[in-house]
Amino acid sequence: MIEPQPVSFHRGAARSLATPDLPAKIERATTRLVAARHAAFAAFPEGDALRDEARAIRARVVGHLDQHLIRFETELQKRGGHLHWAAAAGDAVRIVGEIARARGVRRVVKGKSMVSEEVELNAALEAAGIHVVETDLGEYVAQLAGEPPSHIVGPIIHKSREDVAAVFREKLGAGDEDVADAARMTALARRTLRAEFLAADMGISGANFGIAETGSICLVTNEGNGRLTTTLPRVHVALLGIERLVATMADLGVMLRLLARSATGQKLSVYSNVLSGPRRRDPAGSEAASEPDGPDELHVVLVDNGRTELLGTELAEILYCIRCGACLNTCPVFQSVGGHAYGSVYSGPVGAVLTPALRGLDAYPDLPHASSLCGACREICPVRIDIPRMLLALRARGARRPDTPAWIRQGLRMYAWLAVRPRLFAAAARAARIATRIRARDGWLRSLPGPLAGWTAHRDFPAFAPRSFQRLWRDRGPAAPR
């Protein structure tokens, strides 16, 4: 895929901050989700140990991914499913398009799929004259509004009730009664989408996990649109990131218990839907010995699109992610700017690693800087991914790029030189302390000179403390006896 202009997080963030009410909406939603997550784990004493187990489960799969992929393929095919391998985004789009064309598909209902957003599937299908409808309520509203989702789990947390009402009025011709409150808007969406479900020839979904030992896929939803998408249409196509496997059903159980608690604070999501091949029929044709419903065809498209390049690198750990969205909710940067500022499908801390890792720093040069490195993402992650470590690794890569401004490279080199010379370092710190304390008012500097002005464009800079850490350390006297 051709990447257009590099995406600037700084510009995106500035746009978000300047949008009236947006930061307040994002903060309200994320604060509630984080509170629900913490309450769920507080009532789940085995949660911490389970997170270690979940991490080990994901590490084993990613560390032996080829074996698990082959097992998954064999078992899926044994149960009558078809497996397709997509090396790049374009391949995934082509494969799905061919499945649709060969079966004369005109109408598609879609369950939530981040991978389908990643490969930009909808636009391609629509260009082929296929009617495509998102059926997750949030995704549906986003689609009607012509916007990408802004959060992995809550696609329209950037919209107020009034915003949604306006979209329904404009796009569905809804009257005042239909949009009076959230319940009525939901009912309207149910009616509209139920008709789409009943008329669709093909369902396209993502999947939260593939289970290698049975070749099954698992879809987790609260609304039930995932079940309708995978049950009503004759053909079901699921897109699955190549790394999203677990070895066994028992491992899936561990993941399900953590996923719902991390995402929304539920013990389990309403529907954990495990699919093992298409509708099963009696070879002799007996109705009484055949399943009465379900799709006649199940296709799973395994999407690589840059993931295998991360294996065996310092960024491999990001492939453990199970897309719960907790790191977005807890991140002070995401809470302030929301998902659209990141300019990519995957936002928040996980996106700040995953997007440049998959698409390259050329396209997303400043995303690894969309973090204060406070570590909240690492603390909350159900599989304990060390996101700050990888953000630093990406920043280091970025600093070595030829288009990094000379003053940054020089400045970093100078700092490195200084930092290993204690006397000089102390002297420089003393100078900075004096300078900042002279210029500060109430302990803060409103602006810094030269290239440092970028720091104070959006925030104040604290004056140095009157006594340095080295000084405090010396003055604290001999260590207390053990």
Partner 1 sequence: MTARDQILARVATNLRRGWGAGTAHAHRTPPRATPEAPSSMPPRERFTRELEAVAGRVHAVRSDADAVEAVLGICAERRAPCVLAWYEEYVGLAGLRHALFDGKVGYDTGWLPDGEPARAERLASLGRIAVGVTGADAAIAESGTIVLLSGPGRPRLASLLPPVHVAVLREDRLYASLPDLLAARPRLSDEGSNLVLITGPSRTADIEMTLTRGVHGPAEVHVVLVP
The footprint of partner 1 on residues 243-282 (CB under 8 A) is: 249-250, 253-254, 256-257, 264, 266-280, 282
In the bound complex, what is the minimum distance in angstroms from residue 15's beta carbon to partner 1? Answer: 22
Q: Does 468 bind partner 1 (CB under 8 A)?
A: no
Q: Is 302 in the site for partner 1 (CB under 8 A)?
A: yes
* 389 near partner 1, judged by CB under 8 A: yes
Phi, psi of 254 (to 5 degrees): -60, -45
Cα–Cα distances (Å) from 279 to 66, 237, 291, 292, in that order, read 28, 14, 6, 8
The span from the CA of 90 to the CA of 123, in Å, is 12
Contact status: 108 vs partner 1 (CB under 8 A) = no
Q: Is 194 in the site for partner 1 (CB under 8 A)?
A: yes
Residues 393, 373: Cα–Cα separation, whole Å = 12
Q: Does 167 bind partner 1 (CB under 8 A)?
A: no
Provide the terminal-to-terminal Cα distance of the chain, rounded to the nearest Å.
Answer: 62
Q: Does 154 engage in binding with partner 1 (CB under 8 A)? A: yes
* Rounded CA separation 132/110 (Å): 7
Q: For partner 1, which residue of 34, 71, 134, 138 counts as binding (CB under 8 A)? A: 138
284 is a site residue for partner 1 (CB under 8 A): no
Residues of this chain, 78-97, that bind partner 1 according to CB under 8 A:
79, 85-87, 91
Least Å distance between CB 16 and partner 1? 18
HSE value, Cβ hemisphere, 13 Å, CA-based, for 283: 1
Cβ distance 196 to 109 under 8 Å? yes
- Give the shortest CB-217-to-partner 1 separation in angstroms: 11
- Under rule CB under 8 A, which residues in 348-387 are in contact with partner 1? 378, 384-386
Residue 240 found at the interface with partner 1 (CB under 8 A): no
Cβ proximity to partner 1: between 341 and 390 the closer is 390
Tokens (6 digits) for 208: 């939260």
From 35, 39, 127, 198, residue interacting with partner 1 (rule: CB under 8 A):
198
DSSP tag of 217: E
> With respect to partner 1, which residue has the nearer C-beta, 69 or 124?
69
| Cβ count within 10 A of residue 454 | 10
Cα separation of 106 and 104, whole Å?
A: 6
In the bound state with partner 1, the residue whose beta carbon lies nearer, of 205 and 216, is 216
- One of 3, 170, 309, 362 touching partner 1 (CB under 8 A): 309
Least separation in angstroms between CB 146 and partner 1: 17
Joined together, the tokens standing for residue 376 give: 């909240």
CA-derived radius of gyration, the chain: 25
**C-alpha distances in Å from residue 32, one per residue of 120, 152, 330:** 31, 16, 10
Contact flag: residue 182 with partner 1 (CB under 8 A): yes
Residue from 180, 289, 399, 452 binding partner 1 (CB under 8 A): 289
# of chain residues touching partner 1 (CB under 8 A): 109
Tell me the CA distances in angstroms from 362 to 237, 267, 321, 350, one per residue in order.
33, 41, 23, 18
115 binding partner 1? (CB under 8 A) = no
Exactly one of 137, 207, 331, 358 binds partner 1 (CB under 8 A); that residue is 137
Q: Is 147 in the site for partner 1 (CB under 8 A)?
A: no
Q: Is 344 a binder of partner 1 (CB under 8 A)?
A: no
| Nearest distance from C-beta of residue 227 to partner 1, angstroms | 5
Rounded to whole angstroms, the Cα distance separating 481 from 127 reads 75
Q: How far apart are CA 382 and CA 259, in angstroms?
A: 7
* Residue 322 binds partner 1, judged by CB under 8 A: no
Where helices occur in 200-292 by DSSP H, the ranges are 225-231, 249-263
In this complex, which beta carbon is closest to partner 1, that of residue 248 or of residue 404? 248
Residues 51-80, interacting with partner 1 (CB under 8 A): 52, 55, 59-60, 62-66, 69-70, 73, 79
CA distance 452 to 449: 6
Provide the minimum distance between the beta carbon of 328 and partner 1 in the complex, in angstroms, as a whole number: 15
**Candidate residues 4, 129, 146, 292; the one interacting with partner 1 per rule CB under 8 A:** 292
Please report how close the Cβ of residue 280 comes to partner 1 at its closest, in angstroms.
5
- Binding partner 1 by CB under 8 A: which of 216, 330, 344, 436? 216
C-alpha span between 128 and 115 (Å, rounded): 20
Asked whether position 208 contacts partner 1 by CB under 8 A, the answer is: no
Q: Does residue 155 interact with partner 1 by CB under 8 A?
A: yes
CA 207 to CA 216: how far, in whole Å?
10
Span of 179-187, 353-361, 409-417, 450-458 interacting with partner 1 by CB under 8 A: 179-187
Between CA 453 and CA 426 the distance in angstroms is 24
Q: Which stretch binds partner 1 (CB under 8 A): 185-193, 333-341, 445-453, 473-481?
A: 185-193
Q: What are phi and psi of 123, to 5 degrees?
A: -60, -40
- Distance (Å, whole) CA 205 – CA 151: 17
* Residue closest to 248 by CA, chosen among 209, 277, 303, 302: 209
Q: Between 223 and 366, whose beta carbon lies closer to partner 1? A: 223
Name every residue whose Cβ is closer than 8 Å to that of residue 339 and which is 6 or more positions away in sequence.
Answer: 149, 150, 151, 158, 328, 347, 348, 351
